[in-house]
Structure 1
Amino acid sequence: MQDQIQDRQTFIRQKAKQNQAAPQHTKILWSRHGIAELVNEGWDRSLVEEGLQHCKVIENYPALHRSLPDCLVMGWLATGEPFHAVVAIDEANDRLLIVTVYKPSPEEWEDDWQTRKR
C-alpha cells in the first residue's frame, strides 16, 4: 500500500512539472466540478498546478466504482494557503484529472492538514 501511495505521489508530481513545461498544458485536465470549486475558492489553476509539484498523497481511494484510480493530495499554494485535491491517475494517457480542489476546513482536519479529525 505504501509503495502504491509513493508511486502515485511521484506520478502526480512528475505530471505537474511536465504540465508547466508543456506549451499546451496537456498533462493536467480539470473536471467541470474541479473548475467550479477552483472558482469558488478564488484560486487560479496555475497556483494549484504549481502546488501539485510538491504535493503529498494523504488518502488513497479504492477503484471500486471509478474508471480511474484516485487519491486525495495535500499541497501548498504559493500564497501559503493549504489545499486539498482529489486527483485521478490516468497512466494510459500519461496525465492527471483534477476531480475537485478545496481549502481544508480546520473543523475536519488537524493542524497538519493531512490528518482527519476523529
Structure 2
Amino acid sequence: MEIRQAGEQARIIEDYPDDKYAPSCLLLGFSQAGRPLHIQVSYVESDLLKIITIYEPDPKEWYDYTRRR
C-alpha cells in the first residue's frame, strides 16, 4: 500500500538513460503517512515500469531526499 501511495505521486530525481540492462530512473514519492521512498524503475516500454529496488532514503546521504550529499 505504501509503495503504491508513493508511486502515484512520485517524481523523477535522477535519470540513468545508459543503465546496464535498460534505461532507468530514481523516483521520490511519499506515502500518505509522509514516509519518503526512493523507487528505482526501468522503463523499457512507455506504458510499463519495472521496479528494480525500493528503499527509504537516509537523510544523512540526501538533501531533502532529492540531492545526494
**TM-score of the aligned structures, taking structure 1 as reference length:** 0.53
CA distance in 1, matches of 2:53, 2:36: 14
2:65 alignment partner in structure 1: 113
Alpha-carbon distance, 1:79 to partner = 1.4
Runs of 4+ in 1 over 3 A off after TM superposition: none
In 2, Cα distance between equivalents of 1:81 and 1:53: 14
Structure 1 unaligned regions, length at least 5: 1-45
Alpha-carbon distance in 1 for matches of 2:19, 2:44:
16
**Structure 2 residue identity aligned to 1:81:** R
Instruction: Name whichever structure is richer in helix by fraction.
Output: 1
Kindly name which structure, 1 or 2, has the bigger radius of gyration based on alpha carbons: 1
Equivalence for 2:39: 85
1:107–1:89 CA distance, 2 compared to 1 (3 A)? same
Residue in structure 2 matching 1:62, options 2, 5, 17? 17
**Equivalent residue pairs, number:** 69
Residue by residue over 1:8-51, the C-alpha shift from the partner in whole angstroms, topping out at 9 and shown as x without a partner, is xxxxxxxxxxxxxxxxxxxxxxxxxxxxxxxxxxxxxx221221
